[in-house]
Structure 1
Amino acid sequence: MGEISIKINIADRVYPLRVETEEEEIIRHAAKLVNERIKELQDNYAVRDKQDLLSMCVLQYATGMIKAERKAQQHEDGVEQQVHELDALLNNFFSK
């Protein structure tokens, strides 16, 4: 569709961005989640430095992303194995 200019507030700092129109909602939602997570960390730990809070937040999201990627890869490997087994069964059936 095209690029638009938006401003995103993360940890009380404003970041001007140019994003694709269809990505705006996703980016705003992501910024909201980051800010909510920072608030949770700030409330639960004696950390006040925004840099430390941002680092902890990024680490948690990166860890979650890696876990999700590994789970997806394992699922993909399982599906691939099942396809090979089905292929072998079909080949065996039709070769008779």
Structure 2
Amino acid sequence: MSKLKINIVIAGRTYPLSVNNTKEEEGMRKAANAINKLISMYEQNYAVSDKQDVLAMSALQFASKLEILSLVKNDTKKEEIKKLNELTQLVSAHLE
């Protein structure tokens, strides 16, 4: 399978990338679009003079969302495991 070569524009700069398939390409383009929208929002709403600052703020925004989702997912898994253990104990007690 040959890789697709695409160009992604982030903060006015073009980045050539290779992707494995059209789904990966779509994901990359959507991610770049989201980054560019966030950069634009930061530039419009805050006195930011350097692209490096808005890129860092954007990276922090996306990374923090991922970390929060991971924490929530882990908490949900722990709660599910706790409930499954409780149900297992109830069934075991009933069967005795």
Q: In 2, distance between residues paired with 1:14 and 1:48? A: 21
Aligned to 1:7: 7
Residue segments in structure 1 that go unaligned for 5+ positions in a row: none
SS across alignment from 2:49? coil
Aligned to 1:46: 47
SS across alignment from 1:48? coil
Q: In 1, distance between residues paired with 2:91 and 2:20? A: 46
Residue segments in structure 2 that go unaligned for 5+ positions in a row: none
SS across alignment from 1:18? strand
Matches for 1:1-96 after TM superposition, within 5 Å = 2-21=2-21, 22-95=23-96
In the TM superposition, residue 3 of structure 1 has moved relative to its aligned partner by 2.2
SS across alignment from 2:67? helix
In the TM superposition, residue 2 of structure 1 has moved relative to its aligned partner by 4.9
Q: C-alpha deviations, 1:8-53, integer Å up to 9, x for none? A: 0000000001112121111100100000000000001111311111
Indicate the RMSD between aligned Cα atoms, in angstroms. 1.1
TM norm structure 1? 0.93
Q: In 1, distance between residues paired with 2:95 and 2:68? A: 41
TM norm structure 2? 0.93
In the TM superposition, residue 93 of structure 1 has moved relative to its aligned partner by 1.2
> Size of the alignment, in residue pairs?
95
SS across alignment from 1:47? coil
List 4+ stretches of structure 1 deviating above 3 A: none
